[in-house]
Amino acid sequence: MIFSPANGLFNPFKSKYNVPEDIAKSVLKREQGRCIITGCADPDALTVAWLIPPLFVKHLYHVRGNREYTRYSEITKPGNAITLRKDLEDAFLDGAFGIDVDEDYRLVMFRDIGPAGHTLKGLNVKAYFRSPDVEAQRTGPEDIFLRAQLVNCIYVNFHGGDINAQWTPGMIREKEDELGLSPRSDFRRPRKNKRWEDELAQIVHELHYGRPFGDHDDNSDTEYDSEVYSDSERGGGGRNEGDSSSNESNLDK
């Protein structure tokens, strides 16, 4: 799996996932001593946990909008941590649930976590810190780390936990380049492009956008003017600019 501090394999290294005291105090103050998931205010029932443990900074590479964080020290900060109930910590770190920033901070449950998760279930349950009656009073963590944690949930629960178990890093980078999702790309293939039809392409989509590749309309197509680009316009395939052959049309539509 991408990371799972709650998993027994990681327990000998648990201290590496602890939030430093100064950061924990800052997070508790920011969130006014309440769990951002449930609103619990019992100090004995609360803890502070990382959204993305700094050891795993590389996993921010795939998150939409990230061109900033590349080093451990850069994400060792309050914006990458949250206050939550202790009885939710292991399930949260193990990818059992997350917060979907792009769906109005809706809680997404990926598996049953027992009685502790009873109040989290439902189609439109929002994280407490984004509830209408308290939203204006709280800032919460940075969205990019919430998105990255949700991406981890997707991998842990739907793809066996580790993309590299089936595909090499070189294959993944090549697919990102092909789809226009790498940092070197200045446009992205529209979803109707046939290049999105294979399994790896759809997994890379989930990594990049933090949501499953499905039949729904994908508003990410508006990120770039991707519909108007062809391979010839980008210098690919060796075709002339004026070539409007059916082969090119079939490839990019």
Residue 63 φ/ψ, nearest 5 degrees: -90, 130
pTM of the model: 0.60
Least confident of 116-125, 164-173, 235-244: 235-244
Distance CA 11, CA 16 (A): 10
Read off the pLDDT of residues 182-211 as tens digits, 9 standing for 90 and up.
Answer: 767 777 888 888 888 887 888 777 767 766
Distance CA 204, CA 247 (A): 26
User: For 99, left (φ over 0), alpha (ψ -120 to 50), or beta?
Assistant: beta
Of the CA atoms within 13 Å of residue 183, those in its CB half-sphere come to 10
Place of tokens 């933090």: 210
Read off the pLDDT of residues 236-247 as tens digits, 9 standing for 90 and up.
Answer: 443 333 333 333
Read off the pLDDT of residues 79-114 as tens digits, 9 standing for 90 and up.
Answer: 999 999 999 999 998 889 999 998 889 999 888 889
Model confidence band, residue 168 (pLDDT cutoffs 50, 70, 90): low
Distance CA 97, CA 38 (A): 13
Model confidence band, residue 221 (pLDDT cutoffs 50, 70, 90): very low
Identify the pLDDT of residue 92: 92
Identify the pLDDT of residue 188: 83
* Nearest alpha carbon to residue 18 among 81, 96, 85: 81
Identify the pLDDT of residue 10: 37
Q: Which amino acid is it at 1?
A: M
- Compute the average pLDDT of residues 13-41: 87
> In the numeric block, which tokens belong to residue 69?
């964080």
Distance CA 9, CA 77 (A): 26
* Nearest alpha carbon to residue 33 among 42, 134, 18: 42
- Compute the average pLDDT of residues 154-174: 66
